[in-house]
Amino acid sequence: MLTSLAPSPTERVTGLQLDFFTILTIWAFCSGTAWGQSAVEMDSSLSEDPLVPLLELSGYLVQKTLERGAFGVVYQCTALDTNKTVAVKALSHKENAKEEISALEQLKKLDLDKNNLVRFNRHFEFPNNIFLEFEKLDMELLELVQSFNRPMPLSEIQMITQQMLVALNALKSIKMVHRDIKIDNIMLVNHQLHPFKVKLIDFGLACHVSELNRGDIFYNLEGRAPEISLGLPLNEAVDMWALGCLVASMYIAKFIYSGACELGKMGAIVQLHGQPDEQLLNTGMYTKRYFHRESPSIAMTRLGTAGNEDTRAFVDLLKRMLQVDPGKRIAPSEALRHPFITMKYFPSDFSSGPSYHGKTVASQNDRPPSLGTLQEDLALCMNDELTAASERTTENNSHISGQFGRQRRNSA
């Protein structure tokens, strides 16, 4: 009797053999009875999802869709060979998927748990899709912050900042740049057992530092470092800037550099930090988009330093993380030794306000005047105010090029 030498569909996509029990379990799941769980209890949208049969064929019980976006789909599944709940990311763009897999394989050089990085388990392929299996984390940091109905105390901001600095320090040790640091890409491991234990996820845009090309535009507008906008040489410092923006936004509950376009964003940076050094402006490929050679300086609104010791330390770290010159921006290893990261007591957390985890937390309106001033300094101005300021300076032939602002605003 002749048999085909071609691999079975299962071997072809996973390299694994499914035993009789696994096949029976998959059949039971498809019948709506797997592990005593009815089909009604599953995500109803899964029945029409064309990717679900591929996951089932590969040895997974699909429980629900966690996220669906332009990049692909993430499912919560049970891996039948390990009986563990995992997250499986389905990608249709193979080149992007292979680049992400390459970055994730590089991460395996590191202690992922110690360095607060998501654990990548394995991947498998079909002709039109690549699937990546990760550890299942709990919830997005964004979801937790939105549930509070209160500002985040500095002690909580410190915990999250410290863990992300550890992650950036680890990435720097293997010369990797994440290129997408934002609140959506930070997840809690288990917010009930380990409150505020977080991990950095989504390495779809990560690359080796040598692959950063001067002039490339990446990062969303809120986290985009000035060296990206100006077209300066790039390195790992772009991630530190993005983390600084994130840390500030956790405190003030809004983006620190408000602006509906890149023009407005640059105006906010100049108002807070002053004009970048002449050397940076002369080096930038895109400087003329934002600055005129004969322009007068914009009046600055500097970060305040009043308040308690923890507030002063917080603002000082922010200044160092948000240093406009990337060569002067604080490195992760140095930031981990900063007083704000190492301090144990946070007097600003104990103003009048609602109780949380056994301590009193200041409400947005109850913070001391020094914190209110800091909040105004950090926030700078709302989008409409910044746009109006940009238009006024354009009329006076001052700092910012209005023509480029209109072009960017129309393309945003």
Q: Is 180 a catalytic residue?
A: yes
Residue 43 lies in a domain: yes
**CATH classification of the domain holding 186:** 1.10.510.10
Residue 197: band (very low, low, confident or very high) from pLDDT cuts 50, 70, 90:
very high
| Of 247-251, 377-381, 400-404, minimum mean pLDDT range | 400-404
pLDDT at 42: 56
Higher pLDDT, 267 or 387: 267
Q: Give the predicted TM-score (pTM) of the model.
A: 0.75
Residue 348 near residue 362, CB atoms below 8 Å: yes
pLDDT at 391: 41
- Same domain (yes/no): 92, 209: no
Q: Residue 85 falls within a domain, yes or no?
A: yes
The answer to whether residue 30 is domain-embedded is yes
Could you say which of 43, 180, 316, 366 is catalytic? 180
pLDDT of residue 6 exceeding 80, the answer is no
Q: What is the mean pLDDT of residues 209-230?
A: 93
Please say which residue of 96, 115, 135 terminates a domain: 135
Are 311 and 255 within one domain? yes
113, 135, 157 - which closes a domain? 135
Nearest to 166 by CA among 234, 221, 239, 220: 239
Let me know if residue 262 belongs to a domain.
Answer: yes
Residue 4 domain-assigned (yes or no) = no
Question: What is the domain range of residue 296?
Answer: 139-411
Written as one string, the DSSP assignment of 357-407 is TTEE---TTTS-HHHHHHHHHHH---HHHHHHHHHHHHHTT-SS-HHHHHH
Is the same domain home to 36 and 51?
A: yes
Q: What percent of the chain has a predicted confidence (pLDDT) above 90?
A: 48
What pLDDT does residue 252 have? 84
Strand spans (E) along 191-319: 194-200, 207-208
Tens of pLDDT, residue by residue over 144-188, are 888 877 778 999 999 999 999 999 999 999 999 999 999 999 999
Task: State whether 148 and 86 are in the same domain.
Answer: no
C-alpha span between 374 and 119 (Å, rounded):
37
